[in-house]
A = this chain, B = another copy of it.
Amino acid sequence: MREIHVLNGPNLNLLGRREPAIYGTATLADIEADLAKIGAARGVSLTFRQTNSEGELVTWVQEAGLAGAGVILNAGAYTHTSIALHDAIRASGAKVVEIHLSNIHGRETFRQHSFISSAALGVIFGFGALGHRLALEAPLSLAEHNRAAS
């Protein structure tokens, strides 16, 4: 998997500006720059996109899935309400790693169910900005592991 789309949902454009106790001080641009450096070093093509619109996020997941690209998806609040995103993953066959910066299991009740999780390969929650790195590591390690094994 040489191409990975890093898709961020609603309000993640405000990362680093407010509520640092929950979300940290890194901005989305900081995180994307950090990932871009790693991607360049490991030979992975990365695409970065953010939107507040559920429909646009659905479309981007479809595009990634149909293109065979991997997806690192932080769907923000749509995580908890969007069956359309669940369907987009299944219908497009996208290989999705779901991440959240905070540990949603330790927050409000309405944040404790995810419609993404049951359609994702795996989930990584609670590691702050580091979560993106781990999410990127997952498919890369897996690929290297498979190469080594073959």
Residues of A at the B interface (CB closer than 8 Å) are: 9-11, 13-14, 17-19, 51-56, 58-59, 62, 66, 76-78, 80-84, 86-88, 90-93, 103, 105-106, 110-111, 114-115, 117-127, 130-131, 133-134, 137-138, 141-142, 145
Which of B19, B54, B58, B91 lies in contact with A91, CB distance below 8 A?
B19
What distance in Å separates the Cβ of A75 from its nearest Cβ neighbour in chain B?
Answer: 10
- In the complex, the answer to whether A10 meets B55 with C-beta atoms within 8 Å is yes
Known A-B contacts A83-B77, A105-B114, A117-B103; A91 and B126 likewise in contact (beta carbons under 8 Å): no
CA–CA, A14 and B62, complex, Å:
8
Contacts of A106 in B (CB 8 A): 117-119
- In the complex, the answer to whether B59 meets A55 with C-beta atoms within 8 Å is no
What distance in Å separates the Cβ of A98 from its nearest Cβ neighbour in chain B?
Answer: 9
Known A-B contacts A11-B84, A87-B11; A127 and B138 likewise in contact (beta carbons under 8 Å): yes
- In the complex, the answer to whether A103 meets B81 with C-beta atoms within 8 Å is no
What distance in Å separates the Cβ of A28 from its nearest Cβ neighbour in chain B?
Answer: 12
CA–CA, A91 and B19, complex, Å:
7
What distance in Å separates the Cβ of A80 from its nearest Cβ neighbour in chain B?
Answer: 6
